[in-house]
Amino acid sequence: MVTTTTQAIAPAHVLRGDVFWPEAIAAIAQLGRRPLLVGRSASTATVRQGLEECFGHHGLNPMPAALAHDCCEEDLARITGLTDTSTRDLVIAIGGGKVLDAGKLLADRLELPCVTVPTSAATCAGWTALANIYTPGGAFAHDLALRRCPDLLIFDHALVSQAPVRTLASGIADAMAKWYESSVSSVGSEDGFVQQAVQMARILRDQLLLEGQEAMAHPGSAAWRRVAEASALTAGLIGGLGGARCRTVAAHAVHNGLTQLEATHGSLHGEKVGFGVLVQLRLEELVGGNRLAAQARRQLLPFFRALALPLSLADLGLGTASLSDLGSVCAFACREDSDLHHLPFRVTPDDLLAALVSTTAERQPA
């Protein structure tokens, strides 16, 4: 018997390339004319102000809403309280992954259309029907599934290429995790979408391995465009098509645990996820008995090093962390509802601590 499923796979409309903004604003105006304009960081303030003025010139009436923290309930409640839903008819989120998550979640709760405008290729948050919730202090709390993907995603190459190159490295690591996580969690699945998504994840990984360094070295090049879109768009499509079985496993669970320590807050989402991939492969070797995992880890190390991604706890600001602190990371990552348990073998906090420490110990010298 085939069970009926409902999936939010992709945005209703995607504009990508060197975006002609009058055209983009025309597409936005079809969704609403009084947008709530969500943003946060000082680095994107000029962009938001420029778009706000541009919107005004084209007959839109935006209301700016600045986040004070990462995507957290306190911030969302504050902005919701300040928003007159009788006069706002659209949410536009401009920024990095946490800003985009906040915008999607606000739109979902206010029952308004949503437009996402990523300012980097650091995550696929502009694509997905998911939002990660953090505490005001920046620790991961939980994630939420939304009713649908954004109504419009605007991926402007000219805008994204201005982001620090480090953000692209982070996006590459986050996107590559799709293969290492989905190929493990989907074992035995008879779902065609899942099987197809896993193969897409493999192709995505191969493309990033082949072109990642060239893209990093030449922002705006053809290789950069392919890699940036792979990281910010295709990775989201894979998660949408494959669902939870192709989304997050141990690598993201490690990220979630690491965020519980303030010392890691200077590291980007994908940087922590990339280290989590190395830890997951170590778990597969130590606990799952998968010898090929050790080979995969050794193949990844030089690539991650070339992209200046973290390879050790010290690289994440945890060089002097106590075993007690690392134990708290592992306890959080192994919570009962953690995605880590999508692994096909049981993992305890002690198992994860051993993998965490030994991954660092095996770091190859530069």
Domain identity same for 112 and 141:
yes
Structure confidence at residue 364 as a pLDDT band (50, 70, 90)? very low
Between 3 and 305, name the one with better pLDDT: 305
Domain identity same for 218 and 268:
no
What are the pLDDT digits (tens) for 48-66?
Answer: 888 889 898 889 999 999 9
Domain identity same for 51 and 116:
yes
Between 244 and 102, name the one with better pLDDT: 102
- 195 found inside a domain: yes
Question: Mean per-residue pLDDT for 328-337?
Answer: 97
Instruction: Exactly one of 255, 339, 342, 351 is catalytic; name it.
Output: 255
Domain identity same for 225 and 258:
no
Domain identity same for 364 and 255:
yes
Between 76 and 44, name the one with better pLDDT: 76
Contacts of 100 (CB under 8 A, 6+ apart): 93, 116, 118, 123, 125, 126
Parent domain of 300 = 248-366
160, 183, 203 - which closes a domain = 160
Contacts of 46 (CB under 8 A, 6+ apart): none
Residue 252 catalytic?
yes
- 235 with 175: CB under 8 angstroms? yes
Domain identity same for 214 and 298:
no
111, 136, 160 - which closes a domain = 160
Domain identity same for 190 and 322:
no
- 223 found inside a domain: yes
Residue 265: predicted pLDDT: 97
Instruction: Exactly one of 269, 339, 342, 351 is catalytic; name it.
Output: 269
> Is the C-alpha dihedral spanning 302, 303, 307, 310 positive or negative?
negative
Percentage of residues of the chain with pLDDT beyond 90: 85
141, 160, 179 - which closes a domain = 160
Two tokens at 71? 């995507």
pLDDT at 100 over 70: yes
Domain identity same for 217 and 293:
no
pLDDT at 271 over 50: yes
Residue with the two structure tokens 């915008």: 103
- 5 found inside a domain: no
Residue 191 catalytic?
no
Structure confidence at residue 218 as a pLDDT band (50, 70, 90)? very high
Instruction: Exactly one of 70, 151, 174, 339 is catalytic; name it.
Output: 174
Structure confidence at residue 108 as a pLDDT band (50, 70, 90)? very high
Question: Mean per-residue pLDDT for 281-300?
Answer: 95
- 196 found inside a domain: yes
- 6 found inside a domain: no
- 253 found inside a domain: yes
Residue 361: predicted pLDDT: 61
- 4 found inside a domain: no
What are the pLDDT digits (tens) for 7-41?
Answer: 999 999 999 999 989 889 999 999 999 999 999 98
- 270 with 123: CB under 8 angstroms? yes
- 80 with 68: CB under 8 angstroms? no
- 94 with 37: CB under 8 angstroms? yes
Residue 365: predicted pLDDT: 46
Domain identity same for 238 and 268:
no
Domain of residue 284, CATH code: 1.20.1090.10
User: For the chain, how many structural domains are there in total?
Assistant: 3
C-alpha to C-alpha distance for 100 and 354, rounded to whole angstroms:
35
Instruction: Exactly one of 101, 252, 342, 351 is catalytic; name it.
Output: 252
330: nearest Cα among 354, 362, 365 = 354
Angle at 267 between CA 261 and CA 272, to 5 degrees: 80
Domain identity same for 59 and 105:
yes
Domain of residue 23, CATH code: 3.40.50.1970
C-alpha to C-alpha distance for 92 and 126, rounded to whole angstroms:
11
Residue 255 catalytic?
yes
Distances (CA, A) of 75 to 69, 70, 78, 82, 142: 7, 8, 5, 11, 15
Between 4 and 221, name the one with better pLDDT: 221
Question: Mean per-residue pLDDT for 314-326?
Answer: 96
> If you average pLDDT over every residue of the chain, what do you get?
94
Domain identity same for 172 and 150:
no
Domain identity same for 210 and 263:
no
Residue 2: predicted pLDDT: 63
